Chain A
Amino acid sequence: MSDLTLREAARKPEAIASGHRLCAGCDESIIARMVLKATRGPTIVTSATGCLEVATTIFPYSAWNLPWIHTAFENAAANASGIEAAWRAMRKKGKGPLAKYETLDIVAFAGDGGTYDIGFQALSGAMERGHDFTYVLIDNEAYMNTGIQRSGGTPFAASTTTSPAGRVIPGKKEWKKPIDDIVIAHGIPYVATISAAWPMDVMRKARKAFEAEGPAFLHAIVPCTRGWRYPQEKTIEVSRLAVQTCFFPLYECRKEEGWPVYELSGPSAAVARRPESKKPVEEYLQMQGRFRHLFRPEKREDLIQSIQDWVDHRWEMLLKRVG
């Protein structure tokens, strides 16, 4: 794997220019900037409909300093499949500007809406066909761009506009879909979870994803100051706590000789070594207004415990897989 130093990354020309209209403190551009710093050379990006896509391309302005296409909500993976097929075809025929590129980093960005739900089919199909591209799930755990509606990626008990914390029902009743497990089950070469709180980790994994021969999947936890309701300067802190509480552990899964080989990354490996350092999920929940109803007017110990149990169970499962 070719290495990228922090210094090199800092000096790289920005793939996403300033002047976009994402909310102040939005993690989408932080993650996207970090991921794209790890591209190896020529790059084409496709984005599903969502906050990142909309806020960066309000006509006539565009923040994208590389070739970029958006078509619809549910088909980032299908667009990427077509782009990849075109590149292969043109290399075979030796014609057009793409033919000269031995490597081409094709990156699809999609939110939890465009991945867990409406984009699920296209993602599965693209992975089954084995196209050489990297899919980045920018997971802010709700359909944020249309007004914070719940998605399959919304965690249990989170209050969203279609799963509001009401008098009778305390937020979303269903659990977060285990998208990483589903993707890993497709048997693709590389899957990893990332958090902007560890920039070098993001870039290292992004570089690995680009280098993987075949589909690669990066799942980013992307706190949303508006939808999760926390002060905008806390974005990185919230992302950090998600990892430190093991709500969103950081790990990689490579396919080696047909087997999924799991490896914990820095901060999660540290928790595995020193389990007493694992922070209670309550600390993470307390930071966010979407979980406020778990604390006020009365503390819902039962729901908080359910979430803790879920976190613990999934952490145990991951540790078992790591071996």
Chain B
Amino acid sequence: MSESKPTWRELPKGAVSTKSSTEYETGDWGVEKPEIDHSKCTKCMLCHFYCPEGAIKVREDGYTEVDLRYCKGCGICAEECPVECITMVRKK
């Protein structure tokens, strides 16, 4: 993150934000990551609603998948899954 920063003339007036937070990948925060076993998944979508990062998306087919670029490894999804089909595994 040490690219040169804009000078004051290059910044927009009114101090409005210039980049989406999606450019800041928080996926390296956690030591664990969730693995979803779709064979057990009932497509309840609770993990999508419970993810603080909004990093669990519901696919077209109704199953969910985790965007590891942003997952902080909090483990809420695994803790709350009603059929326990999500396991937190240690990242290598």
A and B touch in the complex (CB under 8 A): yes
* Closest residue of B by beta carbon distance from A30: B52
Distance from A103 Cβ to chain B, minimum over Cβ atoms (Å): 24
For chain B, residues 55 to 71, give those with C-beta under 8 angstroms from any C-beta of chain A.
55, 58, 67, 69-70
Chain B residues positioned under 8 Å from A287 (CB to CB): none
B8 at the interface (CB under 8 A from A): no
* Contact pattern, A 217-252, Cβ under 8 Å of B = 1, otherwise 0: 000000000000001111111000000000000000
Distance from B42 Cβ to chain A, minimum over Cβ atoms (Å): 13
Chain A residues positioned under 8 Å from B52 (CB to CB): 22, 24-30, 235
Q: How many residues of A contact B (CB 8 A)?
A: 40
Q: How far is the CA of A104 from the CA of B46 in the complex (A)?
A: 28
Partner of B50, one of A30, A59, A60: A30
Given A10-B58, A18-B67, A22-B52, verify A236-B26 contact (CB < 8 Å): no
Whether A18 contacts B50 by the Cβ 8 Å rule is no
B79 at the interface (CB under 8 A from A): yes
B89 at the interface (CB under 8 A from A): no
Whether A18 contacts B29 by the Cβ 8 Å rule is no
Q: How far is the CA of A24 from the CA of B73 in the complex (A)?
A: 7
Chain A residues positioned under 8 Å from B21 (CB to CB): 17-20, 56, 61-63
Q: How far is the CA of A27 from the CA of B50 in the complex (A)?
A: 9
Partner of A14, one of B18, B23, B54, B80: B54
Q: How far is the CA of A63 from the CA of B50 in the complex (A)?
A: 17
B20 at the interface (CB under 8 A from A): yes
Whether A25 contacts B76 by the Cβ 8 Å rule is yes
B35 at the interface (CB under 8 A from A): no
Distance from B83 Cβ to chain A, minimum over Cβ atoms (Å): 16
Q: How far is the CA of A232 from the CA of B18 in the complex (A)?
A: 31
Q: Interface size bucket, B side?
A: 35 or more
Q: How far is the CA of A40 from the CA of B50 in the complex (A)?
A: 21
Q: How far is the CA of A16 from the CA of B54 in the complex (A)?
A: 8
Whether B53 contacts A18 by the Cβ 8 Å rule is yes
Whether B22 contacts A19 by the Cβ 8 Å rule is yes
* Closest residue of B by beta carbon distance from A232: B74
Chain A residues positioned under 8 Å from B48 (CB to CB): 10
Distance from B85 Cβ to chain A, minimum over Cβ atoms (Å): 15
Partner of A19, one of B17, B23, B51: B23
* Contact pattern, B 11-40, Cβ under 8 Å of A = 1, otherwise 0: 000010111111111100110000000000
A296 at the interface (CB under 8 A from B): no
A278 at the interface (CB under 8 A from B): no
Q: How far is the CA of A7 from the CA of B44 in the complex (A)?
A: 9
* 13 examples of A-B residue contacts, CB within 8 angstroms: A10-B58, A16-B54, A18-B54, A19-B24, A24-B72, A27-B52, A29-B53, A30-B52, A34-B49, A61-B24, A199-B46, A237-B79, A237-B80
Since A20-B21, A34-B49, A59-B15 are in contact, a sample of 5 more A-B pairs with Cβ atoms closer than 8 Å, ordered by chain A residue number, is A18-B54, A30-B49, A63-B21, A233-B88, A236-B76
